[in-house]
Amino acid sequence: MFRILRTGFLAVRANSSSASQIVKDGNFMGMINDVLREDIIAKSDESSATRLKFSSADELLSWVNGRNALSVDELKDVMITVPGFHTDESSVTNIVEKSWGLVESKWNGKDCLPLLTTLLRLNMTNTKCFKDLEVIWNENVQQLLKEENILPTILPFLHAANVNSYKISDNALTVIDTIINNQIRTLNKPSDLLTLLLHYQSSNGDWRNLAYKQAHQLLSIMSLSEIVGIIRCLGAHGRRDLHFLHPAIQRMTESSTSLSVQQIVDISSTLAKLRFFDARILRKVDIDLRKQINQLKSFNDVSSLVDSFSRLRLGNPDLWQCLANWVNANAKFIPPIVLSRIVGGFAVVGVEAAKPSAEILAKKLRKELATSETMWLNSIFALASHDALTTELAETVLHKEFIRRLFDNPKVSKANQIYFALKLLKVQQVVSNTFGNTYTGPTVSRSSFGIDFDSPEIIQQARLLRFGKGVDAYQDMFVKGGLQKIAPSSHFGGSCVTSSGIFVDEQVLIENGKLVSKALWTGREREVIPIIFVTWQQTAQNYADEKKKFVLLGSDQLSLKLLKEEGKNPICIYESELSKCSTQAEKISLLKKNLFESNEN
pLDDT digit string, tens, across residues 227-285: 999 999 999 999 999 999 999 999 999 999 999 999 999 999 999 999 999 999 999 99
Residue 395 maps to a domain: no
- pLDDT at residue 55 in the model: 80
Beta-carbon contacts of 446 under 8 Å, excluding residues fewer than 6 positions away, are 425, 453, 497, 499
Percent of the chain exceeding pLDDT 90 equals: 61
Q: How far apart are CA 541 and CA 176, in angstroms?
A: 45
Q: Tell whether 186 and 129 lie within a shared domain.
A: yes
Residues 136 and 130: beta-carbon distance below 8 Å: no
Q: Return the closest-CA partner of residue 305 out of 291, 285, 325.
A: 285
* 496, part of any domain: yes
Residues 215 and 94 in one domain: no
Pair 169, 266 in one domain? no
**Among 515, 497, 512, CA closest to 455:** 497
* Coarse DSSP helix, strand, coil percentages of the chain, rounded to the nearest 5 percent: 65, 5, 30
- Same domain, yes or no: 9 and 93: yes
Of all helices (H) and strands (E), which one includes residue 341? helix 336-349
**With bands split at pLDDT 50, 70 and 90, how would you rate the model's confidence at 216?**
very high
Residue 11 has pLDDT above 50, yes or no: no
Contact predicate 563/530, CB 8 Å = yes
Q: In Å, what is the CA distance from 321 to each residue of 202, 310, 318, 511? A: 44, 13, 5, 41
Q: Which of 246, 274, 302 is the last residue of a domain?
A: 274
Predicted local distance difference test score (pLDDT) of residue 12: 28
* Residue of higher predicted confidence among 61 and 363: 363
Range with the poorest average pLDDT among 271-285, 383-397, 423-437, 481-495: 481-495
Sign of CA dihedral 472, 476, 477, 482: positive
Cβ atoms of 342 and 353 within 8 Å: the answer is no
Quote the pTM value: 0.84
Q: Tell me 223's DSSP state.
A: -
Same domain (yes/no): 121, 248: no
Q: Check whether residue 38 and residue 158 sit in a common domain.
A: yes
Q: Is residue 191 domain-shared with residue 218, that is, in the same domain?
A: no
**End residue of a domain, out of 274, 290, 322:** 274
Instruction: Evaluate whether residue 449 is within a structural domain.
Output: no
Report the pLDDT averaged over residues 195-214: 89
Strand partners, 573: 533
Task: Output the pLDDT for position 275.
Answer: 94
User: Structurally, how many domains does the chain consist of?
Assistant: 3
Neighbours of 543 (CB within 10 A): 20
Q: Using an 8 Å Cβ cutoff, are 384 and 346 in contact?
A: no
Identify whether residues 124 and 235 lie together within a single domain.
Answer: no
* 123 lies in the same domain as 246: no
Domain ends where: 274, 305, 322?
274
Determine, yes or no, domain membership for 557. yes
For the segment 332-390, what is each residue's pLDDT rounded down to a tens digit? 999 999 999 999 999 999 999 999 999 999 999 999 989 999 999 999 999 999 999 99
Task: Mention every residue, 6+ apart, whose C-beta is less than 8 A from residue 64.
Answer: 70, 78, 95, 98, 99, 102
- Rounded mean pLDDT of 196-220? 90
What is the distance of C-alpha 76 from the center of its chain? 43
B/e letters for 92-116, b = 16+ CB within 10 Å, e = fewer, are bbebbebbbebbeeebbbbbbbbbb
Same domain, residue pair 145 and 253: no
Terminal CA-to-CA distance of the chain, rounded, Å? 82
Q: Domain span at residue 244?
A: 207-274
In a domain, 160, yes or no: yes
Examine residue 305 and state whether it is found in any structural domain, yes or no.
Answer: no
Residue 325 lies in a domain: no
Q: In terms of domains, do 134 and 211 share one?
A: no
Domain contains 299: no
Q: Tell whether 150 and 218 lie within a shared domain.
A: no
Q: What is the largest CA-CA distance in the chain?
A: 110
Say if residue 327's pLDDT is above 50: yes
Per-residue pLDDT band for 599 (boundaries 50, 70, 90) equals low
Measure the CA–CA gap between 86 and 108, rounded to whole angstroms: 31
Q: Is residue 17 helix, strand or coil?
A: helix
Give residue 375's Cα distance to chain centre: 18
